[in-house]
Amino acid sequence: MKTLGYYNGKFGELDEMSVPMNDRVCWFGDGVYDAGPCRNYHIFALDEHIDRFFNSAGLLKIQMPVSKAELKELLNELVQKMDSGDLFVYYQVTRGSGPRNHVFTDAPGNLWITLTHQEISDGKNPIKLITTEDTRFYHCNIKTLNLIPSVMAAQRAKEAGCQESVFYRPGGRVTECAHSNVHIIQDGMLRTAPTDNLILPGIARAHLIRMCKKLCIPVNETAFTLDDLFAAEEVIVTSSSNLCLWANEIDGKPVGKKQPELLGKIREALIEEFHEATNV
């Protein structure tokens, strides 16, 4: 199969799939999701992603229709049906189906899965960023389906000829990006925002931190500001789709490019880890 869509036990090519209009995702965007890369039919960091997926569902009191082990087995079975083993594996659970009513549906959730072809970037080419005031709600740590602010910020970045938008809160605290985590190298140290309710605890972020510690690079998980961002020695953007990108421009101003050897060391180590984990 070139693409695959799954809904509560049924699957087929994405353009052949449909979902009922009374799924609560249609009324309220009532659900959570997770996703990650697959290479050589091996899903990278799957246990970590599934743990975060179940944590998001638990925080919203969504009844999971499968166990962690069952979901892992299902995902591994579905990727084997694809023509290519280099994939983006996406899954979400909604709160179930029923007449439109704000109170919870008392039933297990609906499980969606999509598989599409995608290859992980090697991160060698720089990207451009813009900054956007973070006007989202205060539950950013939950990977909810309510993504309109992120959609608008991503579109704004595209219209500005950039690849990502960096969110900041009143007072200038940098939080994360529209669909990534953002970090800086400052005085040879990795600075990354703390995992409070203002950012999503990225899986790629966790791998970046572990790798820096393995490479004996100091790590500081405290909030940093826009001033820190623009003055940083390097600016790093991570996500499950792009494990280690670097920025050379923000809001039209040049940034980073002061620690290229350190940046290259981190990036190459992360890509090597990904390749080793997905060689089967």
pLDDT in tens, 134-150: 999 888 999 999 998 99
Q: Catalytic: which of 143, 213, 258, 265?
A: 143
pTM of the model: 0.92
What is the per-residue pLDDT for 26? 93
Q: State which amino acid sits at residue 1.
A: M
Candidates 121, 122, 117, 110; CA nearest to 79 is 117
Question: Residue range 206-225: average pLDDT?
Answer: 98
> Tens of pLDDT along 12-55?
999 999 999 999 999 999 999 999 999 999 999 999 999 999 99
What the block records as the tokens of 166 is 């960096």
Give me the percent of the chain exceeding a pLDDT of 90.
95
CA–CA distance, 180 with 186 (Å, rounded to integer): 20
Give CA separation, 198 vs 167, 195, 239, in Å.
10, 7, 16
> Does 265 qualify as catalytic in the annotation?
no
Give me the percent of the chain exceeding a pLDDT of 70.
100
What the block records as the tokens of 45 is 């960091």
Helix (H) or strand (E) holding 274: helix 260-277
What is the per-residue pLDDT for 260? 97
What is the per-residue pLDDT for 169? 96
**CB-based contact 160:131 (threshold 8 Å):** no
**CB-based contact 195:209 (threshold 8 Å):** no
Candidates 84, 10, 98, 73; CA nearest to 41 is 84
